[in-house]
Amino acid sequence: MTLRRTKIVATLGPASNSPEKIAELIKAGMNVARLNFSHGSADEHRERARLVREIAEQQGKHVALLGDLQGPKIRIGRFADGPIKLEVGDHFRLSTNHPLDGGTQDIVGLDYPDLVKDCRAGDELLLDDGRVVLLVESVGRDEVRCKVTTGGPLSNNKGINRRGGGLSAPALTDKDRADINLAAELQMEYVAVSFPRDAADMDLARKLLRDAESDAWLVAKIERAEAVADDVALDGLIQASDAVMVARGDLGVEIGDAELVGIQKHIISRARKQNKTVITATQMMESMISSPLPTRAEVSDVANAALDYTDAVMLSAETAAGSYPVEAVEAMDRVCRGAEKQPVSKRSGHRLYQEFERCDETIALAAMYAGNHFPGVTAIITLTESGYTPLIMSRIRSHLPIFALSPNSQTLGRVSLMRGVQAIRFNPAEMAPSDINQTAVTRLLEAGHVKPGDWVILTKGDVYNSRGGTNSMKLLHVGERLV
Residue 385 interacts with which of Mg ion, ligand G6P, none, CB < 5 to 8 Å by class: ligand G6P
Nearer of residues 53 and 75 to Mg ion, judged by Cβ: 75
Q: Any contact of residue 5 with ligand G6P (CB under 6 A)?
A: no
Residues 6+ apart with CB under 8 A from 440: 381, 383, 405, 426, 458
Stretch that binds ligand G6P, among 3-11, 110-118, 299-307, 386-394 (CB under 6 A): 386-394
Residue 327 interacts with which of ligand G6P, Mg ion, none, CB < 5 to 8 Å by class: none
Q: Any contact of residue 250 with Mg ion (CB under 5 A)?
A: yes
Pure H helices in 29-90: 42-59
Phi, psi of 119 (to 5 degrees): -95, 150
How far is Cα 63 from Cα 415, in angstroms, rounded to an integer? 9
- Is the sign of the CA dihedral 175, 180, 184, 186 positive or negative? positive
Catalytic-role residue among 6, 96, 280, 282:
282
Rounded least distance, CB 224 to Mg ion, Å = 10
Question: Is 272 a catalytic site residue?
Answer: no
Exactly one of 309, 388, 403, 426 binds ligand G6P (CB under 6 A); that residue is: 388
Q: How far is CA 459 from CA 91, 378, 380, 468, in A?
A: 66, 15, 8, 12
Q: Rule CB under 6 A: which of 413-472 touch ligand G6P?
A: 428, 460-461, 464-470
What 3-state DSSP class applies to 140? coil
Q: How far is CA 223 from CA 4, 16, 310, in A?
A: 28, 26, 17
Exactly one of 176, 223, 385, 454 binds ligand G6P (CB under 6 A); that residue is: 385
Nearer of residues 350 and 467 to ligand G6P, judged by Cβ: 467
Nearer of residues 249 and 407 to Mg ion, judged by Cβ: 249
Nearer of residues 86 and 216 to ligand G6P, judged by Cβ: 216
Q: How far is CA 163 from CA 136, 155, 222, 265, in A?
A: 11, 20, 15, 21
In DSSP terms, which residues pair with 461 in a beta bridge? 470
Pure H helices in 374-462: 388-393, 409-415, 436-446
Nearer of residues 70 and 439 to Mg ion, judged by Cβ: 70
Residue 369 interacts with which of Mg ion, ligand G6P, none, CB < 5 to 8 Å by class: none
Stretch that binds ligand G6P, among 39-47, 51-59, 85-93, 384-392 (CB under 6 A): 384-392
Q: Rule CB under 5 A: which of 217-246 touch Mg ion?
A: 223
Q: Any contact of residue 403 with ligand G6P (CB under 6 A)?
A: no
Nearer of residues 112 and 388 to ligand G6P, judged by Cβ: 388
Question: Is 414 a catalytic site residue?
Answer: no
How far is Cα 426 from Cα 465, in angstroms, rounded to an integer? 11
> What DSSP state is assigned to residue 274?
T
Question: Is 34 a catalytic site residue?
Answer: yes
SS (HEC) of 310-365: CCEEEECHHHHCCCCHHHHHHHHHHHHHHHHCCHHHCCCCCCCCCCCCCHHHHHHH
Residue 247 interacts with which of ligand G6P, Mg ion, none, CB < 5 to 8 Å by class: Mg ion
Question: Is 221 a catalytic site residue?
Answer: yes
Catalytic-role residue among 145, 221, 395, 419:
221
Bridge pairing between strands 132-139 and 143-150: antiparallel
In DSSP terms, which residues pair with 383 in a beta bridge? 405
Residue 102 interacts with which of Mg ion, ligand G6P, none, CB < 5 to 8 Å by class: none
The residues of the shown chain that bind Mg ion, judged by CB under 5 A, are 223, 247, 249-250
Write out the residues near ligand G6P by the rule CB under 6 A.
360, 383-386, 388-389, 428, 460-461, 464-470
Q: Name the residues annotated as catalytic.
A: 34, 75, 221, 282
